């Protein structure tokens, strides 16, 4: 981090006071945004820093440069800037940013907005040279910030062109103060103050007006004019000549200024113009001299567009416009010298441990060899500190073949490629890295330390390979990579070690080996805690909980989630969990568990959080899965809302590619919905469309679909077919020890025997189901089918009262209480039961569409529309469409 970028530029001695502009700026202290938008050389920075020093306002200043087009860099500078006025600000956010994997920048911004609320006093956040920001994510982030910040922070943007931000909205909300070219340009009286009062050049009124016309109040032009007047006898003639000349004024004035400098100074200016920032030692080395400090200070004193970047006068830069004009001249005169200068600068920065500056200079002259050499040394540090955008940028600039020669850069570059989903691009680089390192290790001739270093590197490369393979469907060699990783790494590298175990876990998990994956995830979790990387800890903890839930260990899954939330809270990251979409899975697991335990209130709260978070993310499968759970839960609470969410779910399904696991789940959900509404016909049609067939093979991958089918058969009293199917499914579930499936099937058996009037067997099966469910307190299964098993449950409660079963009393008590609670819930519902087609119809007539138009829109016949309408009227208890629409609006259905 270059601290010089956070330095408030000092004001110079010849400043012209601008009371009207100060007044405008003062108004900004009650607004969210002060926008100063004008071309180069209109004194934006000077005006602002002058005003700040007069008003003595606490200020976080950030001079943006091109390299800051990375949300991580950008946010880091903002945080460090604010830390200059509030030491404790944003510590946890900064730690999150500077890590190899982390939550999204939006979540981190939320964290910051929250912290800004805690700062009581007014302060400014200045973003100078904002036009250099072209990264869309940053622009969105700043918009978001502007929308959500509290009244005590005022953002000031200085820019050469208007930013892509919601400026119009802020203007209409009276949250904006704007200063533009016409405000900033010097009037004749300003010019008079500068030339006559400050610089004592004694210009006539005519001269002043001529200058105003010629420069149009452009301050940099006026300053150059003043510089070129130095030592001139006939100032008035000079001005008159200038007035009549139509050359590009800056070019002309620059020529005049350089003309009156000594050769030595001229040379100094030209050659140092290649530097973004300069210090005396750097200039000394570049120009083989030893008096650069004196020269720099003299230049500053003489207003030669030199700006100090710190209070100690160690670092300076030229005014951008001035530097640009100098560089143009240097390029014209001597292209070879430019290469030599960049090389020297590169060398100097390298020797002074400012590698990123060195890299910049090597790229400037396309010295890629030097560049990759520097990058190889810097890559781990950059990766560790979250500078991923920079690594990607360098990777895309350098030739692939050259990158492949550098093992370190290959490793970190491909890691970032993998995490941004570019597996194919990453693989060849990883392969080269592996080849390079194996050659070195097998080549011998290494010292002990060296061997150690290279073995670790091999370990890390293997972890990266495992990471790559875990994103792919078929991942046979992932185990080999994990093994190689573990042989070469130790818990000295907790991040990598943890990731190796994590990859192991994922491989086992996708294989269905849940016990092995559980062990691996546990190990990964231990080491992740040692690494301290909160995002890694979270990722692993959520996978662990998911694994536990798959095993039917609800209590353990739930505890893993609440432990993680406690860790997050402890470290000050509670906000992240509530804002970051990847945590949707965590709240989903908690919500499902609470739902299973019949705790509707808490379950609903958590699933709702999961649902809201999932909308922020890109994982459509997760979102669909959450919606399935959400709609089922909502049926117990708010049927209208449940119906709405069902429509959302079905729309999503239509847009999504088929995904076998999800399709099976969706099938079950669909059948369940039909059964809830008593739509047997539709359910049967759906089954045949889906292609379920009793004679086909049943397997782990389709058993949930068949289980739903079994319920449909039961509902139609097709008892023999149901019984056969149930027995097949039970054997399958039993073999795989999938307890939850067995519980569901046992309840289905109970319903079957009840229908067969075999009361004894029905009760026995239900008790067996309860015995299996009691350990994890899975009450939901019994609530789900309560209307079918009501009498059986009553009987069991009675039996329980006289003879003891194996089921603990607490389970019965909980179940009884839950039944009472849930039935009460249900009663308070508005019992509206519109089908999704009826709802579609209702929505369209609410938009004043005719029956024919509705029919066309929904691709159904006019008659079907009429039938839908009839059903809608009867369900809403109305007799015409106007009333139906009114009623629907009351019920918030449309």
Partner 1 sequence: MKDKIRIRIKGRLNEKWKDWFDGMDIIEDGDDTILYGNIKDEAFLHGILNKIRDLNLELLSLNPDETNN
Interface with partner 1 (CB under 8 A):
39-41, 131, 160-161, 218, 220, 246-251, 320-321, 324-325, 328, 331-332
Q: What SS3 state is found at 207? A: helix
**Rounded to an integer, what is the distance from CA 488 to the centroid of its chain?**
33
CB of 40 or CB of 788, closer to partner 1: 40
Residue among 137, 85, 70 at smallest CA distance from 116: 85
**323 versus 589: smaller Cβ distance to partner 1:** 323
CB closer to partner 1 out of 249 and 307:
249
Instruction: State which residue, 108 or 250, has the beta carbon closest to partner 1.
Output: 250
Nearer to partner 1, 253 or 304 (CB): 253
Q: How far is the CB of 245 from partner 1 (least distance, A)?
A: 9
d(CA 843, CA 706): 34
Q: How far is the CB of 41 from partner 1 (least distance, A)?
A: 6
Q: 341 vs 468, which CB is nearer to partner 1?
A: 341
Which residues, listed in sequence order, are joined to residue 153 by a DSSP beta bridge?
A: 123
**Residue closer to partner 1, measured from CB, 191 or 733:** 191
Q: Measured from the CB of residue 216, what is the shortest distance to partner 1 in angstroms?
A: 9
Minimum distance from residue 320 beta carbon to partner 1 (Å): 7
Is residue 73 within 8 A of residue 135, CB to CB? The reply is: no
Q: What is the smallest separation between the CB atom of 830 and partner 1, expressed in angstroms?
A: 56
Q: Given the complex with partner 1, which of 40 and 392 has the nearer CB atom? A: 40
| Residue 388: half-sphere exposure toward Cβ, Cα within 13 Å | 18
Nearest distance in Å: CB 220, partner 1: 7
Contacts of 530 (CB under 8 A, 6+ apart): 491, 494, 498
- Give SS3 for 612: helix
Shortest distance, position 39 Cβ to partner 1, whole Å: 5
Assign residue 308 a region: left if phi > 0, alpha if psi is -120 to 50, beta otherwise?
beta
823: alpha, beta or left, given left = phi > 0 and alpha = psi -120 to 50? Answer: alpha
Q: For 88-139, list the strands marked E by DSSP.
A: 123-128
In whole angstroms, the minimum distance from the beta carbon of 328 to partner 1 comes to 5
Distances in whole angstroms, Cα of residue 94 to Cα of each of 83, 591, 764:
11, 31, 60
Closer CB to partner 1, 36 or 710, in the complex: 36
- Alpha-carbon dihedral sign for residues 340, 342, 348, 353: negative
How far apart CA 350 and CA 463 sit, in angstroms, is: 31
Task: Please tell me the distance from the alpha carbon of residue 889 to that of residue 258, in angstroms, as a whole number.
Answer: 77
Q: Which helix (H) or strand (E) holds 180?
A: strand 176-180
Phi-psi region of 261 (alpha: psi -120 to 50; beta: other; left: phi over 0): beta
Nearer to partner 1 by Cβ, of 330 and 561: the residue is 330
Tokens coding 521: 């995830």
SS3 assignment, position 360: helix
- Residue 328 or 863: the one with the smaller Cβ distance to partner 1 is 328
Distance from C-alpha of 781 to C-alpha of 739, rounded to nearest angstrom? 12
Q: How far is the CB of 332 from partner 1 (least distance, A)?
A: 5
- Give the nearest distance from C-beta 203 to partner 1 in angstroms: 23
Minimum distance between the CB of residue 141 and partner 1, rounded to whole angstroms?
22
CB 828 within 8 A of CB 810: no
């Amino acid at each position: 981090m270059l601290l010089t970028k956070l330095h408030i530029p000092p004001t110079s001695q010849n400043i012209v006071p601008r009371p009207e502009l100060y007044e405008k700026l003062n108004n900004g202290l009650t607004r969210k945004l002060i926008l100063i938008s004008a071309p180069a050389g209109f004194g934006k920075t000077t005006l602002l820093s002058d005003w700040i020093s007069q008003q003595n306002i606490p200020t976080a200043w950030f001079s943006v440069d091109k390299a800051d087009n990375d949300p991580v860099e950008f946010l880091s500078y903002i945080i460090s800037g604010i830390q200059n006025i509030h030491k404790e600000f944003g510590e946890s956010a900064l730690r999150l940013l500077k890590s190899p994997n982390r939550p999204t920048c939006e979540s981190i911004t939320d964290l910051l907005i929250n912290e800004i609320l805690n700062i009581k006093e007014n302060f400014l956040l200045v973003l100078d040279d904002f036009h250099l920001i072209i990264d869309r994510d940053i622009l969105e982030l700043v918009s978001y910030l502007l929308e959500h910040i509290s009244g005590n922070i005022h953002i000031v943007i200085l820019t050469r062109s208007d930013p892509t931000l919601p400026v119009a909205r802020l203007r209409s909300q009276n949250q904006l103060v704007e200063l533009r070219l016409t405000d900033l340009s010097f009037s004749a009286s300003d010019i008079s103050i500068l030339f006559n009062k400050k610089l004592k050049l004694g210009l006539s009124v005519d001269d002043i007006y001529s200058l105003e016309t010629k420069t149009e109040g452009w301050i940099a032009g006026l300053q150059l004019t003043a510089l070129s007047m130095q030592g001139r006898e006939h100032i008035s003639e000079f001005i008159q000549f200038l007035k009549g000349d139509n050359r590009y004024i800056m070019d002309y004035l620059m020529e005049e200024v350089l003309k009156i400098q000594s050769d030595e100074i001229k040379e100094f200016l030209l050659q140092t113009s290649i530097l973004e920032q300069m210090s005396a030692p750097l200039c000394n080395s570049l120009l083989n001299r030893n008096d650069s400090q004196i020269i720099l200070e003299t230049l500053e004193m003489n207003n030669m567009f030199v700006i100090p970047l710190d209070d100690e006068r160690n670092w300076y830069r030229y005014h951008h416009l001035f530097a640009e004009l100098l560089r143009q001249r240097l390029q014209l005169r001597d292209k070879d010298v430019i290469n030599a200068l960049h090389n020297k600068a590169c060398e100097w920065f390298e020797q002074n441990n400012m590698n990123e500056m060195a890299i910049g200079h090597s790229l400037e002259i396309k010295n890629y060899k030097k560049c990759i050499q520097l990058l190889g040394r810097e890559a781990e540090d950059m990766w560790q500190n979250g500078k991923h955008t920079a690594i990607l940028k360098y990777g895309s600039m350098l030739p692939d073949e050259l990158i492949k020669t550098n093992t370190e850069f290959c490793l970190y570059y491909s890691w970032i490629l993998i995490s941004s989903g570019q597996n194919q691009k990453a693989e060849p680089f990883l392969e080269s890295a592996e080849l390079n390192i194996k050659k070195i290790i097998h080549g011998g001739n290494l010292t002990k330390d060296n061997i150690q270093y290279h073995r670790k590197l091999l370990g890390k490369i293997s972890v990266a390979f495992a990471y790559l393979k875990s994103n792919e469907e078929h991942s046979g060699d992932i185990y080999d990579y994990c093994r190689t990783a573990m042989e070469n790494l130790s818990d000295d590298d907790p991040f990598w070690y943890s990731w190796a175990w994590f990859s192991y876990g994922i491989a086992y998990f996708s294989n269905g080996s849940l016990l092995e994956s559980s062990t691996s995830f546990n190990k990964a979790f231990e080491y992740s805690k040692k690494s301290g990387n909160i995002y890694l800890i979270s990722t692993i903890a959520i996978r662990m909980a998911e694994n536990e839930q798959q095993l039917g260990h609800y209590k353990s899954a739930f505890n893993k989630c609440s432990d993680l939330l406690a860790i997050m809270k402890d470290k000050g990251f509670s906000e992240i969990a509530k804002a970051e979409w990847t945590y949707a899975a965590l709240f989903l697991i908690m919500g499902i568990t609470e739902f299973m335990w019949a705790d509707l209130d808490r379950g609903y709260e958590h699933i709702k959080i999961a649902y809201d978070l999932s909308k922020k993310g890109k994982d459509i499968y997760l979102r669909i899965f959450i919606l399935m759970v959400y709609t089922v839960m909502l049926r117990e609470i708010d049927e209208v809302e449940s119906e709405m969410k069902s429509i959302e779910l079905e729309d999503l399904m239509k847009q999504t590619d088929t995904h076998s696991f999800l399709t099976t789940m969706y099938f079950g959900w669909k059948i369940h919905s039909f059964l809830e509404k008593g739509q047997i016909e539709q359910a049967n049609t759906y089954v045949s469309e889906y292609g379920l067939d009793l004679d086909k093979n049943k397997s782990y991958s389709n058993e949930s679909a068949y289980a739903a089918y079994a319920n449909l058969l039961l509902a139609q009293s097709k008892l023999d077919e149901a019984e056969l199917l149930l027995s097949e499914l039970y054997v399958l579930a039993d073999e795989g020890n999938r307890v939850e499936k067995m519980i569901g099937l046992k309840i289905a058996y109970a319903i079957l025997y009840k229908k067969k009037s075999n009361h004894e067997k029905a009760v026995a099966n239900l008790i067996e189901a309860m015995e299996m469910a009691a350990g994890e307190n899975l009450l939901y299964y019994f609530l789900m089918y309560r209307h079918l098993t009501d009498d059986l449950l009553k009987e069991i409660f009675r039996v329980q009262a006289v003879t003891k079963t194996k089921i603990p009393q607490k389970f019965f008590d909980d179940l009884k209480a839950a039944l009472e609670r849930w039935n009460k819930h249900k009663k308070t519902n508005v019992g509206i039961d519109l089908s999704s087609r009826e709802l579609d119809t209702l929505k369209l007539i609410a938009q004043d569409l005719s029956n024919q138009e509705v029919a066309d829109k929904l691709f159904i016949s006019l008659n079907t529309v009429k039938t839908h309408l009839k059903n809608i009227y009867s369900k809403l208890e109305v007799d015409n469409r106007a009333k139906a629409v009114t009623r629907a609006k009351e019920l918030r259905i449309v």
